[in-house]
């Protein structure tokens, strides 16, 4: 049984607009048999934070193209992507890439 | 003569170089050239920066012997490129003439390479003195800048400050690409274009403004969009590319062209109160496609017209881009390869994010690339290579009216409700006085208080008419996209609560109203 995990979940680059315009969220993930990974976090976000139009944030079990996921200020690619096991007090940032100029 | 290691060096501490060289230019041109050659050798002996493989290739060894021929070539080129430099009015006229010529030919033919140089003139020394005394730049760095060419893709909010600082710093040549003309709503952030330039091509306007700033730089305006068929030829002619564009297809096009041509790409973007900066395809680092192998769904992309942007934010990102270009061009090297710098203006915060390395399976820069020539990026991204607002077509024609039709029924005093669904911030800019304002967001959320207000207004209007007739609700927004989404929501509302409501949207929205019906209505 994994202990609850407290995270700072942040959204930026416009992704926050899908979360009532709030950029920083303190999140506590409840106890569950499996350890929390990013895959489960995305499901949890979909159920608990994302009220509508999930297609603007998610695609399949991952984020949609154009959203960078950063775990403790590093590209999630370097951390195992969906399989990264979340640690207490991790910072997870979802940033929508900008194209304007 | 000798001097210490570079970390301790600089013009002040490198006494041998400085004292041995400084008096020489006072002695005249001949002395200058001789002395300069010596200085070049001195610096090499001092262990100054060596060009790396990723830097623009230059024949340092041939500097001195090419100097005379190169000068003549440079003067001819400068004369040709600087035509129309005598005054603003003339300049504009000549600009326009050249433009026509260029338009028929497409992009101009191959540019001659910038001449290698081994010395700065006295005037250049004075002009660039504040940066020449920086040990990190120095004469050697300045000479490298003078031999560098930079292609600026997009002369808008990022391209203007970027080009301004590159021109001021004395880069050799600036290619300026933009397909658009200057509009009033550009002036808030596109700081090279003045009021008098409205309606002029941005590439020309930028070149004219930059020429006033530094006439020694060669400016090559390209009026037209960067296209897959011409991009590679263009990119190959420049040492460094700055992506200052405003749309997704162009970002993929520029990145792929840079990979295929082997050029470093300094990429900036900004929207609302945020900006992002990265250096791609530089010293073995990732390219844009390594990060974003698949383009974002078109629905998720917001442009500056819809999302808004503050000029100071594009200015900050454009200046940061200029800084990275200058570092690469002068030989300092960029520290941002493999990193993305993110700026949040509201928080006043920068984050430097470590990115993944180059991907071995990247479609363009990977070990076995599938993209070996430029493609159709509009098809790849499912969107146009501009930042113009898209016109959605969500409703059948019968559910839409034109602004002229709406004006006619307004004049005929036909009972109806006009529902304005723009965000509150836009409704504060301007509105039609008789409109009921409920943001689309509130309709999407089925906000009870908002729906009650709508129901009340419908009730009031219905009292003025025969209850049997369905009351029309006309929905308006800025451009006629959100209004269609709102109509779809209204059409699904329960009839028992709202009675018989016929919802239609006004095509083209309030901006069409402003252009076709009431010219005093503000446009934004």
Residue A13 has pLDDT above 50, yes or no: yes
Minimal-distance CA residue of chain A relative to B359: A77
CB contacts, 8 Å: B270 with chain A? 98, 100-101
Q: Would you call B373 a catalytic residue per the annotation?
A: no
Per-residue confidence (pLDDT) for residue A14, from 0 to 100: 93
Q: Do residues A13 and B276 touch, judged by C-beta distance below 8 A?
A: yes
Q: Distance between CA atoms of B220 and B223, rounded to whole angstroms?
A: 10
Maximum alpha-carbon separation in chain B = 102
pLDDT at B457 over 90: yes
Which residues in A lie closer than 8 A to residue B353 (C-beta atoms)? 68, 70, 73-75
Which residue from B minimizes the CA distance to A24? B347
B258 is in an annotated binding site: no
Helices B29-45 and B63-81 pack at an angle, to 10 degrees, of 120
Distance from CA of A72 to the nearest CA of B (A): 9
- B477 flagged as catalytic: yes
Q: Min CA distance, A32 vs chain B (Å)?
A: 31
Say whether B481 counts as a known binding-site residue. no
B266 phi and psi, to 5 degrees?
-105, 110
Report the largest interatomic distance among the alpha carbons of chain A, rounded to a whole angstrom: 48
Question: How do residues B495-517 score in pLDDT, each as one tens digit?
Answer: 777 777 799 999 999 999 999 99
Q: Are strands A58-59 and A74-75 parallel, antiparallel or unpaired?
A: unpaired
Q: Which of B27-36, B80-89, B381-390, B471-480 ranks highest by mean pLDDT?
A: B471-480
Q: Are B266 and A8 contacting, i.e. CB atoms less than 8 angstroms apart?
A: no
Given pLDDT bands bounded at 50, 70 and 90, which one contains residue B186? very high
- Contact at CB, A68 and B156, closer than 8 angstroms: no
Looking at the complex, report in whole angstroms how far the Cα of residue A31 sits from the nearest Cα belonging to chain B.
30
Q: Which residues of B touch A73 (CB under 8 A)?
A: 351-354
Closest CA relative to residue B410, chosen from B426, B433, B438? B433
The residue in chain A having the minimum alpha-carbon distance to the alpha carbon of residue B154 is: A101
pLDDT tens-place string over residues B322-370: 999 999 999 999 999 999 999 999 999 999 999 999 999 999 999 999 9
Distance CA(B330)–CA(B337), nearest Å, equals 16
Q: Is B303 labelled as part of a ligand binding site?
A: no
B23 Cβ contact list (under 8 Å, min separation 6): none
Full-model pTM: 0.80
Per-residue pLDDT band at B21 (split at 50, 70, 90): very low
Q: Which residues have C-beta within 8 Å of that of residue B90, sequence separation ≥ 6?
A: B84
Find chain A residues with C-beta within 8 A of B385's C-beta: none
Write the pLDDT tens digit of every residue in A22-56: 999 999 999 998 899 999 999 999 999 997 789 99
Q: Tell me how far apart the alpha carbons of residues B160 and B150 are, in angstroms, rounded to a whole number.
A: 13
- pLDDT at residue B46 in the model: 35
Q: What is the mean pLDDT of residues A69-98?
A: 96
- Token readout for A16 is 């926050």
What pLDDT is attached to residue B305?
Answer: 84
pLDDT in tens, B208-260: 999 999 999 999 999 999 999 999 999 999 999 999 999 999 999 999 999 99
B214 is in an annotated binding site: no
- Does the beta carbon of A99 lie under 8 angstroms from any beta carbon of chain B? yes
Tokens describing residue B420: 């304005």
Quote the DSSP letter at residue B110.
P
Name the band, by pLDDT with cuts 50, 70 and 90, for residue B481: very high
Put residue B30 in one of left, alpha, beta given phi > 0 → left and psi -120 to 50 → alpha: alpha
What φ, ψ does residue B309 adopt, rounded to 5°? -160, 145
């Amino acid at each position: 049984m994994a202990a609850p995990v407290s995270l700072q979940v942040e959204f930026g680059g416009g992704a926050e607009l899908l979360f009532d315009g709030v950029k920083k969220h303190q999140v506590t993930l409840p106890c569950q048999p499996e350890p929390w990974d990013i895959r489960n976090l995305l499901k949890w976000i979909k159920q608990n934070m994302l009220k509508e139009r999930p297609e603007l944030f998610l695609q399949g079990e991952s984020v949609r193209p154009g959203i960078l996921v950063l775990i403790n200020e590093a590209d999630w690619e370097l951390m195992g992507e969906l399989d990264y096991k979340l640690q207490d007090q991790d910072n997870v940032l979802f940033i929508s890439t900008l194209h304007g100029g | 003569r000798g001097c210490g290691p570079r970390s301790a060096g600089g013009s002040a501490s490198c006494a041998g170089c400085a004292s041995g060289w400084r008096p020489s230019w006072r002695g005249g041109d001949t002395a200058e050239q001789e002395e300069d050659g010596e200085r070049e050798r001195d610096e090499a002996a001092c262990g100054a920066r060596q060009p790396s493989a990723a830097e623009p290739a230059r024949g340092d060894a041939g500097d001195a012997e090419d100097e005379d021929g190169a000068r003549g070539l440079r003067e001819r080129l400068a004369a040709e490129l600087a035509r129309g430099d005598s005054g603003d009015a003339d300049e504009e006229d000549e600009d326009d003439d050249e433009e026509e010529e260029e338009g028929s030919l497409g992009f101009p033919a191959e540019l001659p390479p910038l001449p290698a140089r081994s010395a700065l003139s006295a005037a250049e020394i004075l002009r660039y003195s504040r940066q020449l005394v920086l040990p990190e730049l120095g004469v050697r760095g300045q000479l490298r800048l003078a031999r560098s060419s930079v292609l600026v893709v997009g002369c808008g909010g990022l391209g203007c400050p970027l080009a301004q600082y590159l021109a001021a710093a004395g880069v050799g040549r600036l290619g300026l690409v933009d397909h658009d003309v200057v509009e009033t709503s550009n002036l808030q952030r596109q700081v090279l274009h003045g009021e008098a330039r409205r309606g002029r091509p941005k590439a020309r306007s930028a070149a004219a403004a930059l020429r006033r700033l530094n006439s020694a730089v060669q400016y090559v305006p390209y009026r037209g969009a960067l296209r897959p068929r011409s991009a590679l030829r263009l990119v190959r002619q420049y040492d460094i590319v700055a992506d200052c564009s405003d749309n997704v297809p162009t970002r993929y096009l520029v990145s792929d062209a840079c990979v295929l041509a082997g050029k470093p790409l300094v990429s900036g973007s900004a929207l609302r109160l945020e900006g992002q900066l990265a250096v791609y395809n530089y010293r073995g680092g990732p390219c844009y496609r390594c990060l974003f192998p698949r383009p974002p769904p078109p629905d998720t992309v917001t442009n500056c017209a819809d999302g808004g942007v503050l000029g100071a934010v594009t200015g900050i990102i454009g200046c940061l881009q200029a800084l990275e270009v200058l570092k690469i061009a002068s030989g300092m090297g960029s520290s941002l390869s493999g990193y993305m710098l993110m700026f949040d203006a509201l928080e006043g915060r920068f984050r430097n994010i470590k990115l993944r390395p180059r991907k071995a399976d990247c479609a363009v820069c990977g070990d076995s690339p599938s993209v070996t020539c430029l493609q159709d990026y509009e098809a790849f991204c499912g969107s146009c290579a501009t930042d113009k607002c898209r016109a959605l077509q969500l409703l059948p024609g019968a559910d839409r009216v034109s602004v002229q039709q709406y004006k006619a029924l307004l004049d005929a005093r036909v009972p109806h409700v006009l529902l304005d669904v723009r965000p509150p911030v836009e409704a504060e800019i301007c509105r039609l006085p008789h409109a009921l304002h409920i943001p689309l967001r509130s309709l999407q959320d089925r906000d009870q208080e908002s729906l009650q207000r709508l129901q009340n207004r419908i009730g009031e209007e219905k009292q003025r008419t025969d209850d049997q007739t369905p009351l029309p609700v006309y929905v308006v927004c800025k451009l006629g996209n959100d209004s269609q989404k709102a109509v779809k929501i209204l059409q699904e509302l329960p009839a028992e609560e709202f009675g018989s409501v016929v919802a239609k949207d006004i095509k083209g929205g309030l901006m069409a109203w402003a252009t076709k019906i009431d010219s005093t209505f503000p446009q934004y």
